[in-house]
Amino acid sequence: MKKKNNRINGRTNDRNDLFEESPVNPSRRSLLKGVGLVGAAAVSTIATSHVIAADMAGKNGNLNTIAPREALEALTALEAETLAAICDCLIPSDEHGPGAREARAVHYIDKSLASHNSSARHNYSVGLNAINEFARKTRGKSFPELLLDQQNSILLAVQTNKISGFIPNGSGFFNLLRSHTIDGTFCDPYYGGNQDFVGWDMLHYPGIRLGASEADVAAGASLPPNHQSAYDHSTYTKLADNASKDVAGGDGYA
């Protein structure tokens, strides 16, 4: 059974694991401290010129698997499966709550690779293939089929540049994966990740508010979440419409 609270921490019960060093990647708790409310706000206000419509198909389905009928925009099915396993290692579900899988970070990444992160599409194709090839060569199975300790061991090897075949290198690709996983977990749900606001709830982020009353300020961290996207507010929606027109070469409007 999968160990829910295991991280990329260099510890393993497999005597044949390849690497023992502790990676620089922080634990889930440290990650949440580092992102904090400021980080949640930052990833929720991605430039409106890169608007991505959130596809909430299958919202009530099983969040622990990739919906087989969900159309992918950039990734192949194997790439998406591999990426889902990686995201689950980076921000796993455990006794503290849901993680990147429930937030549908892969959905966000796939949509972003078809739009504002399209320049990274080739890096993903090369990198995910290199991870699977290394997994098959050393473990006899593709990366998603491995035990969690084995997956963590391979990701540690990627992070510490002990596996070749990445653009620009293993460490660079690992940092790209980590950054996009964080974005997909904590972004505004409008962009395809942070489904059901699980990422914001993880941070105890109360949500975007255009104004705060004295009562809101007094409530501080205990302020109940409003579970609203920025694009639930007409101000943001108008900005997004203007940006879309600008990108298409149309006339903007105020």
What DSSP string runs through 197-215? Answer: GHHHHHHT-----S---HH
Q: Which of 60-64, 133-137, 162-166, 173-177 has the lowest mean pLDDT?
A: 60-64
How far is CA 102 from each of CA 2, 46, 57, 168, 222, rounded to the nearest angstrom? 16, 21, 14, 30, 24
Residues with Cβ within 8 Å of 28's Cβ and at least 6 positions away in sequence, in order, are: 7, 91, 92, 94, 96, 99
What pTM, to 2 d.p., does this model score? 0.68
Amino acid letter, residue 38:
V
Higher pLDDT, 72 or 1: 72
Asked if the model's pLDDT at residue 22 lies above 50, the reply is no
How far is CA 111 from each of CA 10, 65, 152, 206, rounded to the nearest angstrom? 32, 18, 26, 26
Tokens (6 digits) for 172: 């660079």
pLDDT confidence of 212, banded at 50, 70, 90? confident
